[in-house]
């Protein structure tokens, strides 16, 4: 178990009918004017928009709106938000939506107080030293952005989907009402489940040793997601399963799963980000394709952990270690296929001749991964396995 | 899954050779003078005392010392600390030791800024609205006090061992270096393990439903503790197992295990506290006696959860539900016995004729428990089962 520092300042308010608490949470922190960031029509259709505006009005908080954040959010929208935050002199940013909205809001909050280009913070080249306070209403559980200091944005001018991290961009308060997620399209539920499982696996397979308690915790999250996403596919209104999935999403990337580990791997995430640059594929769908291919390419680096995964997640008990691992990868792909996630680049509409260029795009980040350090040609091999 | 609010402000610094960071953590918060609270000779024998004082000196922090906190810490020592904190005008309290030292430090930190008697905060009659900042160096992992707002102190004049809670008494920073725990006496390791398992079970058996992710997490902690305490009994210097046990202790009562639950049960803790009033029994030892008896008395209130416990912790698969539960309780007692914890009041030196008076002592708290609400006569039945 490696030395670690653990700290997470975000306050989570979770459950039915909790969204209307946002006004008092913000006003109790002496904030009077906010930038409200959201996507398109979803929050207007499910009633969240009205609840939020009413709550803010009752708390006497002035609102500047920035609608139009899209999935795989783009830098130009962040820049628009920074301009607006400055010109309107807002005191905080409120994200209302899913991970894209939260990530954009974090970049806006950091960029507003920074003289240079906000893009400097991406690719971990600089760390934001300050940010406006961030609040959030989560309406799609997947990325875990509601309780961490991470964000991912696409620079569409440079074809780079990169991440930023700063301890200054943890939301102060995030509200999660799973009941508003019952109206999500089926594929968003599926993509969310894949994203959650992938976050856990990025940490689980990072080459850490002697980490039973964190492995147990990781396996618990994965089993819970596998169970409850299947419930939701036949019963999307099931509140209990929505709640389980929502809390798993937060736990999967709020740092609670990281203590004592080697920092996670995140090569699959880096590769997926380049896939999104190519076709705007949903993050979860891209991960369902990439992660099993990554596992196949790297498992020999720490075969016992992959054996353990097969035993604990899929109850695989027979065969050699190698056979168990290959069976586990196969079972993961079967599971993804069964819930409707793509498991190959081909079925997701990629062209085989684009794979080298996608590998080049990933290689702009330099060497990636932690369990196995991956060069551009390693990435190309993984893409071929994913083909 | 019930609605919940989750927030934990404590920063944890965990690992080998981390204790010397305490000086800079305190001074970076503009604190110049602290009250250092500790027990007796343990921290002088294992070198922690010198490391802490050196670190504080290098950070130019003035130190007022309060030694002499004992296990099952007493109110008179807390009152002595409050006097000292006031007369010496310290700006913060630093606990160096185990749960007793942390709990005493929390009471001192809250009591120093309160005009009335600090005892008002115990038994949850009043909540502390303010407290001096609290820091800690943990040298015995068991109570979880390093990352929560709880404390337990015995009012020796009134024969009451009661708890306090306030969001104001979470430590700002706690440092956990598992390597200093290798010199603990065997029974402290055992008692710590029982305490950790008991904290998890207080939450696990509180009657919550539809809470897979938290049940999975709870079971993972219990299995990890069972595995690693056994390693430590034959190999007390095993750093990895010390680290696993230490982190499990923190997780078991830092709130991470509580979201969506019914608030925990904690009847076994209440009963154990009265046992400690009688004989000064170690908290973990008392819990090893009380908890299985409590399980036997209440399991019919939520039999499926007790069946699940047997399946997930002890791999019990055959028999009726009732048989599985009784087998699980028996296996838990066998495990406690195997690691050297007492499993009956008789073997721990209690007198059978004292049981009614112990039940009376518990009853001063009123009705206790959550899965099943327990009156004084219920408590007496549990004590008889524990006899």
Predicted ipTM of the assembly:
0.96
Q: What's the rounded mean pLDDT across residues B291-315?
A: 98
A9 burial class (0-12, 13-18, 19+ CB within 10 angstroms)?
middle
CB contact under 8 A, B212 and A227: yes
Count the residues in chain B: 387
pLDDT single digits (tens) A208-225:
988 999 999 999 999 999
Mean pLDDT of A248-271: 97
Question: Which residues touch A277 (CB under 8 Å, ≥6 apart)?
Answer: A154, A159, A160, A161, A361
pLDDT digits (tens, 9 = 90+) for A82-125: 999 999 999 999 999 999 999 999 999 999 999 999 999 999 88
Confidence of residue A385 (pLDDT cuts 50, 70, 90): very high
Q: What is the CA radius of gyration of chain A?
A: 20
Interchain contact, A213 vs B227, CB within 8 Å: no
Q: Examine the pLDDT at A41 and tell me if it is beyond 90.
A: no
**Domains assigned to chain A:** 11-179 (3.40.50.1970), 184-386 (1.20.1090.10)
Ramachandran area for residue B282 (φ above 0: left; ψ -120 to 50: alpha; else beta): beta
- DSSP, collapsed to helix, strand or coil, labels residue B234 as helix
List chain A residues with CB under 8 Å of B12. Answer: 4-7, 259
Per-residue model confidence (pLDDT) at position A37: 98
| The residue to which tokens 């209302």 are assigned | A96
- Per the CB < 8 A criterion, the answer to whether A348 and A191 are in contact is no
Q: Chain-centre distance of CA A71, in angstroms?
A: 12
Chain B residues with CB under 8 Å of A2 CB are 15
> What CA–CA distance (Å, rounded) separates B213 from A14?
15
Give the best residue of B6, B22, B167, B260 to mutate against chain A (max A CB count within 10 A): B6
Taking contacts as CB-CB distances below 8 angstroms, the residues of chain B near A248 are 213
- Residue bearing tokens 């509200």: A175
**Residues counted in chain A:** 387
pLDDT of B32 strictly over 90: yes
Percent of chain A with pLDDT over 70: 100
pLDDT of A209 reads 87
Q: How far is A27 from chain B (nearest CA, A)?
A: 18
Decide: B382 and B216 in contact? Cβ < 8 Å: no
pLDDT, mean of residues A146-166: 96
- With a cut of 90, say whether residue B210 has pLDDT above it: no
**In B138-152, which positions are buried (b, 16+ CB within 10 angstroms) versus exposed (e)?**
bbbbbbbbbbbbbbb
Residue of A94, A97, A73 whose CA lies nearest to A29: A94
Mean pLDDT of B126-144: 97
Average pLDDT over residues A163-190: 96
Residue A237 has pLDDT above 90, yes or no: yes
Taking only the tens place, the pLDDT of each residue in B222-237 is 999 999 999 999 999 9
Residues of B with CB under 8 A from a CB of A: 1-16, 18, 210-213, 216-217, 219-221, 223-224, 227-228, 240, 243-244, 247-248, 251, 256, 259-260
Which chain B residues have a beta carbon less than 8 Å from that of A224?
Answer: 212-213, 216
Q: Dihedral, CA atoms, A248, A15, A175, B12, nearest 10 degrees?
A: -50
Judging contacts by C-beta atoms under 8 Å, the chain A residues touching residue B216 are 217, 219-221, 223-224
In this structure, the strands spanning B150-155 and B160-165 are: antiparallel
Distance from CA of B223 to the nearest CA of A (A): 9
Residues of A within 8 A of B8 (CB-CB) are 8
Which two structure tokens, joined as six digits, stand for B26? 């305190």
Nearest residue of chain A to residue B11 (CA atoms): A7
Bridge partner residues of B162 (DSSP)? B153
- Longest Cα–Cα distance of chain B, Å, equals 65
What sign has the CA pseudo-torsion B107, B112, B114, B117?
positive
Rounded Cα gap, residues B190 and A86, in angstroms? 58
Looking at the predicted structure, is the pLDDT value of residue A35 above 90?
yes
pLDDT at A308: 97
Q: How far is B359 from chain A (nearest CA, A)?
A: 37
H-type alpha helices, B121-254: 186-204, 212-234, 239-252
Q: If pLDDT is split at 50, 70 and 90, which confidence band does B124 have? A: confident
Best mutation site among A22, A172, A212 for testing chain B: the one with the most B CBs within 10 Å?
Answer: A212
Confidence of residue A158 (pLDDT cuts 50, 70, 90): very high
Query: Shortest Cα distance from A296 to chain B (angstroms)?
Result: 27
- A14/B4 CB distance under 8 A: yes
Task: For chain A, give the mean pLDDT.
Answer: 97
Confidence band, pLDDT 50/70/90 cuts, at residue A48:
very high
Is this model's pTM higher than 0.80 or not?
A: yes
Which tokens in the block code for residue B176? 């956990």
Phi-psi region at A37: left, alpha or beta (left = phi > 0; alpha = psi -120 to 50):
beta
**Distances in whole angstroms, Cα of residue B97 to Cα of each of B42, B101, B162:** 8, 5, 20
Q: Which residues of B touch A10 (CB under 8 A)?
A: 7
Give chain A positions within 8 Å (CB) of B228: 212
Nearest to B248 among A3, A213, A248 (CB): A213
Closest among A107, A110, A34, A41 to A70, alpha carbons compared: A41
Provide the 10 A C-beta neighbour count for residue B120: 16
pLDDT, chain B, mean: 97
Please state, in angstroms and rounded to a whole number, the distance separating the CA atoms of residues B64 and B314: 49
Pairing of strands B150-155, A160-165: unpaired
Measured CA to CA, the distance from residue B4 to residue B260 in angstroms comes to: 6
Interface contact B5-A16, CB threshold 8 A: no
- Between β-strands A160-165 and A150-155, what pairing exists: parallel, antiparallel or unpaired? antiparallel
pLDDT over threshold 90, residue B41: no
């Amino acid at each position: 178990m490696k030395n670690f520092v653990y700290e997470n300042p975000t306050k989570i308010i979770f459950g039915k009918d909790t969204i209307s608490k946002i006004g008092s949470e913000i006003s109790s922190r002496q904030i009077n004017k906010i930038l409200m960031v959201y996507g398109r029509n979803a929050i207007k259709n499910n009633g969240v928009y009205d609840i939020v505006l009413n709550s803010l009005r009752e708390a006497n908080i002035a609102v500047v709106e920035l609608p139009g954040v899209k999935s795989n959010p783009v830098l130009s929208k962040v820049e628009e938000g920074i301009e607006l935050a400055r010109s309107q002199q807002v005191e905080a940013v409120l994200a209302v939506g899913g991970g894209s909205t939260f990530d954009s809001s974090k970049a806006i909050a950091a960029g507003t107080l920074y003289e240079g280009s906000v893009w400097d913070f991406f690719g971990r080249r600089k760390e934001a030293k300050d940010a406006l306070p961030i609040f959030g209403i989560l309406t799609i559980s997947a990325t875990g952005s509601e309780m961490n200091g991470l964000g991912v944005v696409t620079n569409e001018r440079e074809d780079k989907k990169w991440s930023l991290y700063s301890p200054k961009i943890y939301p102060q308060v995030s509200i999660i009402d799973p009941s508003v997620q019952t109206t999500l399209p089926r594929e968003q539920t599926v993509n969310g489940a894949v994203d959650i499982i992938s976050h856990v696996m990025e940490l689980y397979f990072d080459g850490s040793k002697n980490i039973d308690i964190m492995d147990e915790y990781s396996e618990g999250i994965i089993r819970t997601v596998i169970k409850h996403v299947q419930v939701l596919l036949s019963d999307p209104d099931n509140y209990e399963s929505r709640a389980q999935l929502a809390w798993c999403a937060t736990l999967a990337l709020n740092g609670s799963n990281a203590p004592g580990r080697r920092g996670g791997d995140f090569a699959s995430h880096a590769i997926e980000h380049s896939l999104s640059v190519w076709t705007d594929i949903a993050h979860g769908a891209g991960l369902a394709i990439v992660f099993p291919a990554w596992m196949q390419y790297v498992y020999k680096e720490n075969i016992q952990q992959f054996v353990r995964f097969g035993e604990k997640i899929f109850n695989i008990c027979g065969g050699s270690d190698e056979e168990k691992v290959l069976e586990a990868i196969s079972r993961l792909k079967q599971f993804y296929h069964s819930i409707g996630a793509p498991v190959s680049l081909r079925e997701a509409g990629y062209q085989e001749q684009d794979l080298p260029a996608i590998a080049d795009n990933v290689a702009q980040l330099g060497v990636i991964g932690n369990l196995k350090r991956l060069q551009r040609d390693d990435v190309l091999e993984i893409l071929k396995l994913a083909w």
